[in-house]
Amino acid sequence: MSDHSLPKTVDPLKYADQNKALQGVMEVQNLPRLADMLASDAGTITVDLEFDRDEQRIRILRGRLSTSLSRICERCLEPVQQPIETEFTLGIVLTDEQASQLPGRYEPLLVDPVSLELKEVIEEELILSLPMFAYHDRCHGEYEQKSEDSENKPEDGAQVKENPFSVLAGLKGKK
Ligand SMILES: [Zn+2]
């Protein structure tokens, strides 16, 4: 209902050149890919977007999304509201080649020259920011240890993996 506070599509290049900012509210039910991952498609997303050019004249889109999504508690399997706040800065590009030239601090946002569908961006960013699990506060205690472990593991694992390889490479080099 309140989606009309945001334009459906924008011209991303023009918006960036003009440093346009947009604020609005979007209904979760209008984001079907996201809604499929939720317990309910009720709720709204507060959207803050700013198109701009950075000091290198690269066109960027800064965004901030804030919402509370209905998910299924991993422990009791009842619905639970999970607050989500996410911020992002995307580099607006027209081709894969431009994407590969972006500074590492920007995720590429591949666009058509004149028409960017805002809800595609918002949906994608929310899906990316969705925590793997949701718990009620009362359910979280027992699982806290476990979920913290599993959150830390990828990083630790990556480091552990890296070291043996460099050690092996070193050994090979010596032999
Ligand atoms: Zn629960």
Stretch 12-22: mean pLDDT, rounded?
97
pLDDT value at position 144? 53
DSSP annotation string for 93-154: ESSHHHHHHS-TTSEEEE--SS-EEHHHHHHHHHHHH--S----HHHHHHHHHHHHHHHHHH
Residue 106 Cα to ligand 1 midpoint, Å, equals 36
Same domain, 43 and 69: yes
Q: Which residues surround ligand 1, an ion (CB under 5 A)?
A: 73, 75-76, 136, 139
Residue 144 Cα to ligand 1 midpoint, Å, equals 13
Domain range for 114 is 2-135
When divided into structural domains, the chain yields a total of 2
Same domain, 99 and 145: no
Same domain, 162 and 80: no
Residue 126 Cα to ligand 1 midpoint, Å, equals 22
pLDDT value at position 113? 86
pLDDT value at position 141? 72
Residue 10 Cα to ligand 1 midpoint, Å, equals 40
> What is this structure's pTM?
0.77
Same domain, 173 and 88: no
Residues 36-83 have pLDDT tens digits of: 999 999 999 999 999 999 999 999 999 999 999 999 999 999 999 999
